[in-house]
Chains A and B, each alone.
Chain A
Amino acid sequence: MITAPAPVKETKNYLNAQTGLKSWLLTGDHKRIAVMYLIVVTAFFALGGVFASLIRLELATPAGDLMESNQYNKVFTMHGVLMVFFFLIPSIPATLGNFLIPLMIGAKDLAFPKINLLSWYIYMLGGVFTLYVLLTGGVDTGWTFYTPFSTSYSNGYVVAAGLGIFINGFSAILTGLNFIVTIHRMRAPGLTWFRLPLFVWAHYATSAIMILGTPVVAVTLFLLVLERGLHIGFFDPAYGGDPVLFQHLFWFYSHPAVYIMILPSMGVISEVISTFSSKKPFGYTFIAFSSVAIAVFGFLVWGHHLFVAGQSIYAGLVFSILSYVVAIPSAIKVFNWAATMYKGRVRLETPMLYALGFIGLFTVGGLTGIFLSSLGMDVHLTDTYFVVAHFHYVMVGGALLGYLAGLHFWWPKIFGRMYSQVWSKVSAALVFVGFNLTFFPQFLLGYMGMPRRYHVYPPEFQVFNVLSSAGASVLALGLILPAIYLTWSLKHGAIASANPWGATGLEWQTSSPPISENFEVTPVVTTEAYDYSTVPQEVVHVG
C-alpha cells in the first residue's frame, strides 16, 4: 500500500502548500474553503439521508409500527431542514462555485477571502444550532415552520431551529455577495461577460437570489423567534396577527430558494453537456439570459404556495400565470442542451451520465410543476404526495444529480486524481433507477389522494409505498458508492492530467490540483468561450 511516491510527484499545489489543521481552519484560499465546505456539506447530506431512510422505513407498512406520529413529524422536519438549508442551498455554490469561479475567470481568489472563510464558520455555527435541536429532542413543524403552530403550539425546539437557519442564511448571503463582486471586478483581461462560462452566469443569477431573498427569510425567522420566545406577536391571531403573512414572507424567499438550488446545477449541466459533446453550447446567450430570467421570474411566483391558504382568487390567477411563465426559460435550457448534443461527439463518461439523468428527471419535475401551477389542479393535489414527488424530481433529480455530475466532472481538478470509471457508472445507473423507483410511485399516490406528512395510511396505498421504499434502498446504495470510490481515489486513483476530459475553460489550463495562486501568470483571454478548436482532441482520459 505504501508505494514510494513515484517520479512525477512533489509538485506544489494548494493541497500541500501548507500542512496542519490550522493552515486549513485559518485559510483564505477559496479552494481550501471549498474543500472544507465539501466535507461538512457531505456530512449534513448523510444525516439528512438517514432521516429520509427512516421515513421510507416507516412507510413500508400502512400501520405506524416504527414511530409514533410525533416522532414521525420530527423525522420529516429534520430531513427537510437538513436537506434544504444545509445541503441543497450550499451544495454547489459553496463547494464547486467557491472552487471554480475564481479559476474560471482567471482570478487569484474571490474578492473577499476572509468573508469567504467567515461564511464557512457561520454555516458551521448554524449547523451547531441544528444539531443541538436534533440531540435535545427535535422540532416537529415541518421545514416550513408555519404559524401559529410553530409559534404557539409546537412541542419542539422551534427557537433554536429558527436561529440555526437564521444564522445559516448569512453564510449564503456572504457567499452570494462575494460571487457578485468577484464576477464583476476580478475577471481576467479579455474575459468579457459573454465569454464567461455558463456556470459563472448561473452562479451570478443564483447570487442575486441569495442576496435579495435570504435576508427576507432571515427577518421572517427573526419575527418567528420573537413571537415564540418573547410573545412579541406578528402572525398568531391571538396577538392580532395574520398567519398568511408568514406564508407570504416565507415563500417570498423559499420559492426563489428552489432556484438557488437548481440554477447552479443547470450551470454544471451546461458545462458537462458541452464538454462531452465537444461542442459549443447551442444558443449560449439564450442559456445565459435564461438563468437571469429564472432568477427574476422566480421572485414573482411565491403565491402559488398559497392557492388554498385564503389568498384572493385574483392574486391566485396572477401567480398561476406567472408560474407558467417560469417554464419558458427552463424549457429554453432543456432544448438548448438537447440541441448541443445533436451532431456532437457524445462521450458517455460518468459526469455525462449524471447530466443526461438530470435532463430527463428535471423535465419530469418541471412538467409536473405545470400541473401544480394550474389553480384547479392544485386544489386537488395540494399537500399530497404528488407535490412531494414533484419537488423531489426537481431537487434530487435536478439539483442533486447536477451536484453529482459536477463533483465527478471537477473531481480530477480538485484533488488531482481519477476515480473508478466502472464503479462511478454503476453508481450513476443505480441513482437513476433507484430515484425513479422511489419517486414515480409517489406521483400516483398523490393523484390517488394520499396526503403528505402522515405516518399511517390506508392499506390500498401499500403497493406503491413498498415500491417507493425499495427504490429508496437502491438510491441509497447508489449514493453510498461515490462516497467509497471517491474517497478511495484520493490515495489510490490514477494521477489526473490538467485537462482529462478535453474541456475548454480556464480552470483546465492550470495544473490538477491547481497551485495556491491558481495560475502561474494571469491568463489573457482572446477567444470566445467553448472554443474546442483550441483543445487537443486526442486528449482522452485514462482511468
Chain B
Amino acid sequence: MASQVVPHEEVVTLKHHFANDEQQLDASTIGMWVFLVTEIMFFGGLFLAYFAYRQAYPAAFASASNKTNLWLGAANTTVLICSSLTMAMAVHSASLGKRTLLVLFLILTLILGGVFLGVKAYEYHDKWVHHEVPGAHFDCEGCDDAGHAPLFFSLYFGMTGLHATHMLVGFVILSIIIVQASRGKFTAKWYTPVEMFGLYWHFVDIVWIFLFPLLYLIDRSHTGLK
C-alpha cells in the first residue's frame, strides 16, 4: 500500500514479554491513561488551592485577574486548539501509514507549541516588568485587598508555569518523534508512540482550556476590559 514502506527491514516491534500485538498496544494505552490520571491529580492540588482562595478572597482575585492579558491569552488558546487539531491529523496520518503527512502535521504541531511558549514567555516578561511577580518587588497597582492579591499571581505562575513545563517536555518528546517519523520508524501497523504522545498533547491542551477561563476570564467584567 504505502509507497514508502521499505520492504527489507521488517522491524520487530513486539517486545519479548508480550504475547501478541494486541496485548502490547492495550498495555501502552492503559498505561498512558493511568499516567494521565496521575497528571490530573498533580494539577488537582493547584486547582484546589485556586478554588479555596478564590472562594476566600473574591475581591482580590477579581481585580488581580484584570492584570492578565486577555487578548494574548485568547490568542494562545486558539493556537493550542489548532495544535490539538494538527496532532489529531498526525495520528490519523500515522494510522494510514502516510509518512510525509505524518511528519508535516507533527512539525505543524511543534510550531504551534513553540508559538504558545513564545507568547507565554512574553507574558511572563511583561509581568516581571510590571512588578506583578510575587516577592519583594511585588506591586499590584489598583488591586483590591492588596494583602491577598499576591496569592492570585502565585497561583497564576504556579499553574501556568506547571502547564508550560508540560509543554516544554512535550516539545522535546515531539522533536524526538519527528526525527523517528522522518526515518520511517512508524508504520500503519505500529505507531504507538505517536498515538500515546497525542493523548499527552491533548491532555496538556485541556488543562489550558481550564486555566484560561479561571485565570483570565472569571469576574473580569467587574472592572471592565482593558
Contacts and interface: CB of A to CB of B under 8 A. Distances in A.
A231 B136 CA distance: 8
Contacts of B27: 111-112, 181-182, 185-186
Given A181-B31, A233-B154, A249-B45, A212 B37 contact: yes
Contacts of A111: 17, 27, 31
Given A181-B27, A223-B158, A232-B134, A249 B38 contact: no
B97 interface: no
Contact of A108 (B16, B35, B41, B49): B16
| SS class, residues of chain A in contact with chain B | helix
Contacts of A177: 31, 34-35, 38
B49 A223 contact: yes
B17 A109 contact: yes
Interface of A: 107-109, 111-113, 173, 177-178, 180-182, 184-186, 211-216, 218-220, 222-223, 226-227, 230-234, 239-242, 245, 248-249, 252, 522
A230 B153 CA distance: 13
B26 to A, nearest CB: 5
Contacts of B57: 240
A226 B158 contact: yes
Contacts of B134: 231-233, 239
Given A249-B49, A522-B19, A232 B158 contact: yes
A173 B38 contact: yes
B148 interface: yes
A213 B40 CA distance: 11
A230 B154 CA distance: 10
A442 B84 CA distance: 59
Interface residues of B, number: 41
15 contacts: A108-B17, A109-B17, A177-B35, A186-B27, A212-B37, A215-B38, A223-B45, A231-B136, A232-B135, A232-B154, A233-B151, A234-B151, A240-B148, A245-B53, A522-B19
B37 A211 contact: yes
Interface in B7-60: 16-17, 19, 23, 26-27, 30-31, 34-35, 37-39, 41-46, 48-49, 52-53, 56-57, 60
Contacts, number: 112
A214 B60 CA distance: 31
A113 B41 CA distance: 24
Contacts of B133: 232
A461 B81 CA distance: 66
Given A213-B41, A216-B41, A240-B150, A232 B157 contact: yes
B52 A245 contact: yes
A240 B37 contact: no
B110 to A, nearest CB: 25
B52 A242 contact: yes
A182 B39 CA distance: 20
B214 to A, nearest CB: 16
B23 A186 contact: yes
Nearest to B40: A215
